[in-house]
Amino acid sequence: KNHADQRRKGLAFLDELRQFHHSRGSPFKKIPVVGGKELDLHALYTRVTTLGGFGKVSEKNQWGEIVEEFNFPRSCSNAAFALKQYYLRYLEKYEKVHHFGEEDDEVQPGNPKPQLPIGAIPTSYNYQQHSVSDFLRQSYGLSMDFNSPNDYNKLVLSLLSGLPNEVDFAINVCTLLSNESKHVMQLEKDPKIITLLLANAGVFDDTLGSFSAVFGEEWKEKTDRDFVKFWKDIVEDIEVRDLISDRSKSQDIPSEEWIWESLFHPPRKLGINDIEGQRVLQIAVILRNLSFEEGNVKLLAANRTCLRFLLLSAHSHFISLRQLGLDTLGNIAAELLLDPVDFKTTHLMFHTVTKCLMSRDRFLKMRGM
């Protein structure tokens, strides 16, 4: 009875093994023969997995011990090597998937394509169609320098996409990562995140190829968000208003129409209905959280666009945003390398410190110190 049960289990195992290899595109019809008998693949699989799997057995070089339990002729000098090769061919992939629970992502050249109804769309995309071998790259003179992916590639692409759901998702993830003590965001892995976050708050890099044309003008119509107007509504200091946008300098001088409008129009309130305000607050919170990490401080201090954002925030009449801006400036102050005093940002830094020290507000005095 015991022998019959073992035989039944062995046949069931072989059926499952054949089905597994057929689905991978590596079917087999014949079972290897050793000493005139078929090799008991079920017994071999059970023995190897009890010893820890293929990797452990190979590491400890135990194939010589296992081979004694099977019908290899004594005259066969390479029996251990042959047994190892049989296991590699028939059982190693099966072990990874069914014993260790790993995913079988390997695409075999002979893998049969799934039969789909006419007009149906595959549920997974075949990325292998884009891969080019190193030999072909060298033959056609293509570049061999590959861009190594980092942990934040998806975040960068989401921020670049301009799709509202993607941008919201990326900023929410950045908020969580900036507040996580164990897995805090490391800006050095992709410094572009700072520039993209600030661009989504309407503060753009001055260099060539900045995002001002896309984020500031094209998306303004599609998203119904005007960050230039937002900053002008909340920053009253004339000197600091020059940081808002180079394209808007001509509008910084208050016109007669603007004076009458500001007289009768109620001041802007930073509430949950202020879309621009909530987005700027989110980004200010992210930068403040990141400024507590030593590895991020130098990058934040060296980023001139970030400095402009913090100065604008520090001079806003929204208390929460002003506090976040001053807190972040205080955290990165030790790493700031200021330009000569005739530079705009340096002048505004001293202007900010002076304004805080001269204020009657204790909080501003403390932050100025």
Q: What is the CATH number of the domain that holds 14?
A: 1.10.150.60
Residues 337, 204 within the same domain: yes
Q: The domain containing residue 176 runs over which residues?
A: 153-368
In a domain, residue 146? The reply is no
Is 279 within the bounds of a domain?
Answer: yes
| C-beta separation of 161 from 222 below 8 A | no
314 shares a domain with 231: yes
Residue 238 covered by a domain: yes
What are the two backbone dihedrals, phi and then psi, of residue 50, each rounded to the nearest 5 degrees?
Answer: -70, -25
The predicted structure's pLDDT at residue 336: 82
* 344 found inside a domain: yes
Give pLDDT, residue 251. 47
CA distance 53 to 104: 17
- In 3D space, the residue among 11, 19, 18 whose CA is nearest the CA of residue 43 turns out to be 11
Q: Are residues 12 and 160 in the same domain?
A: no
Structural domain contains residue 142:
no
Q: Is residue 129 included in any domain, yes or no?
A: no
Q: Are residues 163 and 85 in the same domain?
A: no
Question: Do 173 and 322 fall into the same domain?
Answer: yes
Strand 33-34 vs strand 37-38: parallel, antiparallel, or unpaired?
Answer: antiparallel
Are 318 and 181 in the same domain? yes
Q: What is the pLDDT of residue 67?
A: 85
Establish if 270 belongs to a structural domain.
Answer: yes
Both 198 and 299 in one domain: the answer is yes
Residue whose structure tokens are 């975040």:
155
Same-domain status, 197 and 342: yes
> Residue 60 corresponds to which amino acid?
K
**Which sign, positive or negative, has the C-alpha torsion 232, 234, 236, 240?**
negative
Helix 275-290 to helix 164-178 angle (10° resolution) is 30
- Report CA-CA distances (Å) from 185 to 165, 176, 282, 287: 21, 9, 15, 11
Q: Is residue 276 part of a domain?
A: yes
Residues 166 and 272 in one domain: yes
Number of folded domains in the chain? 2
Query: At 109, which amino acid appears?
Result: P
209 and 63: one domain? Answer: no
Q: Quote the DSSP letter at residue 129.
A: G
Which tokens hold the place of 200?
Answer: 């989504």
66 and 195 part of one domain: no
Gap between the Cα atoms of 196 and 278, Å rounded: 17
What pLDDT score was predicted for residue 107? 46
Same structural domain for residues 51 and 191?
no
For residue 55, the tally of other CB atoms under 10 A from its CB is: 13
Picking from 98, 118, 139, the residue at the C-terminal end of a domain is 98
Q: What is the pLDDT along the chain (369 residues), one digit of tens a residue?
A: 567 778 888 888 888 888 888 887 777 778 888 877 888 889 999 999 999 899 899 888 888 888 888 877 777 778 888 889 889 888 988 888 888 777 665 544 445 545 555 555 555 555 566 667 776 777 777 777 766 667 788 888 888 887 888 889 999 999 998 887 777 888 888 888 998 998 888 888 766 556 666 666 666 666 777 788 888 888 887 787 877 764 544 444 555 555 555 555 556 666 677 788 889 899 999 999 999 988 899 999 988 888 888 888 888 888 888 889 889 888 888 888 877 777 777 777 777 777 777 877 777 777 767
CB neighbourhood size of 46 (10 A): 14
pLDDT, position 8: 84
DSSP structure string for 52-105: T-HHHHHHHT-HHHHGGGTT--TT-TTHHHHHHHHHHHHTHHHHHHHTS-----
Task: State the pTM of this model.
Answer: 0.57
> Could you say which of 52, 68, 98 is where a domain stops?
98
